[in-house]
A and B are shown apart, each in its own frame.
Chain A
Amino acid sequence: MNADPIRAQILIRRGWRITLAALLALAVVVVLAQRFTPTEVRQGLAQKIFYIHAPSAWCAFLAVGLTGLASILYLWLGDQHFDRFAATSAEVGTVFCAVVLTTGPIWGKPIWGTWWTWDARLSLTLFLFFLLLGYQVLRSAIRVPTERARLSAVVGIMAMVLVPFIHLSVYLFRGLHPTPIVLKPSAPSLDPEMLRTLLISFAAFTLLYVGLVTLAYGIRLAREAEERGHA
């Protein structure tokens, strides 16, 4: 128990280092995307939003998936670390979702002609966003840590079961409401330079996820150790 504050500080420092490295990498990605990547002829400059949007979506899904996994592991093994990780990943996931849900429409408007198109990925992200918010709102409403961990783990697992059904629903819904296609969007033609920028961006955003989770986890651990010390 006494090792916790120390471990927390180590994680916080490590988290900062990784996060700052990731932010640096992202700055490089922005420069790459702007200066050293060709502009897609049909979509124009707006297509470059893709280099931010798609990797952020990947990180959002990663965050949600890991929260679900941690929920299962917590209920199975009872280890507090899993609960702490689940809560942290959910928070970070919310941030990534927010970016996807804002950059998506900003990309969509010039390309598809409308702000929102109930496109499969965007719709799923919207649902994940609501599920993550619900998860965190529930956590904030329960005082007792063990109860909070247990109950939010249950909700986390339920959310995992829901995901394939959301996918089915969106698919079914879109069958009835074909999306307006002004220009053909989706993944850019695999120009080697575009692919390079995209892959580097994926790596940088994944690094950002790792950094943010490490940092946020460490802070959470520090706070808990702090509260226990004062209790």
Chain B
Amino acid sequence: MVESLQLALAIAAKDLRAELRSRTSFLSAAMFAALLLVVFNFARDPTAVATIDLAPGILWVTVAFAAVVAMNRGFAVERENHAFDGLLLAPVSREVLFLGKYLANLTFVLLVEVIALPLFVLFFNVDLSQALPGLLVTLLLATAGLVSVGTLFSAIVVRTRFAELMLPVLLLPFMVPPLVFAVQITMRLLTGRALSEVAGGLRLLVLYDVAFITVSLLLFSAVVDE
């Protein structure tokens, strides 16, 4: 059990190291998130609609799109290097392999969010003094779920011709429930409600995570094995 975890972490570390060495995809994803926030800012009329009404939605749409862009990473690289095929030949259990890729993706997307969140606070004048812990938990939970589906679907679309287009097409419907739950929670947090009021939404996020991390894990071997 511990060995498997260590193995998964090793796979994740290798994946991330290769990624961060080039830094291209990370910078692209982070810039994309920043640009989205800027565009959203100009797309609204602050005198007509209160920021607080739009802010949660804007934050989570940005997170969702940045996550998709982030998970699109490395398709070209993987295909060129056949790195993934090499991993498949190794006597590694498919579940461990999934876990490794999942952790790498999760770390990557969370790093992008770390960039996006301060920008969000800056552009939209959001007061996070009370809401920060709750918001961080929500970000973690929502991202954990999104990335599990994204990791599975990445493995599916990498064999198709238009992988970068196919991933969002398949992934976006799966992103809607965590987005809806997260927006609801964020709305409550930003308007200063007690943590007990967001318990329901958090429970839904956890439910989504448990369901999809499990199913993605189980289906991964069907995807990568002939």
Contact = CB atoms under 8 A, between A and B. Distances in A.
- Direct A–B contact in complex, judged by CB atoms less than 8 Å apart: yes
A150 B152 CA distance: 13
Decide if the interface of chain B is mainly helix, strand, loop or mixed. helix
Contact of A161 (B159, B180, B212, B222): B212
A131 interface: yes
A142 B173 contact: no
Contacts of A130: 172-173
A127 interface: yes
Give the most central of B149, B161, B170, B204: most A CB within 10 Å: B170
Interface in B95-128: none
A151 B157 CA distance: 9
A41 interface: no
A153 B222 contact: yes
A154 B222 contact: yes
Contacts of B184: 172, 176
Contacts of A153: 222
A67 to B, nearest CB: 15
A154 B159 contact: no
Interface in A141-169: 141-142, 146-147, 150-151, 153-155, 157-159, 161-162, 165-166, 168-169
Contact of A150 (B173, B208, B216, B222): B222
Interface in A60-97: 75
Given A141-B166, A154-B152, A172-B184, A131 B159 contact: no
Contacts of A133: 169
Interface string B161-190: 110001001101110110011001000000
Interface residues of B, number: 31
Contacts of A158: 149, 152, 174, 212, 215-216, 219
Interface residues of A, number: 29
B156 interface: yes
Interface in B117-161: 149, 152-153, 156-157, 159-161
Decide if the interface of chain A is mainly helix, strand, loop or mixed. helix
22 contacts: A127-B173, A130-B173, A134-B170, A134-B173, A138-B160, A141-B157, A141-B161, A141-B166, A146-B226, A147-B159, A150-B222, A151-B156, A154-B152, A155-B156, A158-B152, A162-B173, A162-B177, A166-B173, A168-B177, A169-B177, A172-B181, A172-B204
Interface of A: 75, 127, 130-131, 133-134, 137-138, 141-142, 146-147, 150-151, 153-155, 157-159, 161-162, 165-166, 168-169, 172-173, 176
Interface of B: 149, 152-153, 156-157, 159-162, 166, 169-170, 172-174, 176-177, 180-181, 184, 201, 204, 208, 211-212, 215-216, 219, 222-223, 226
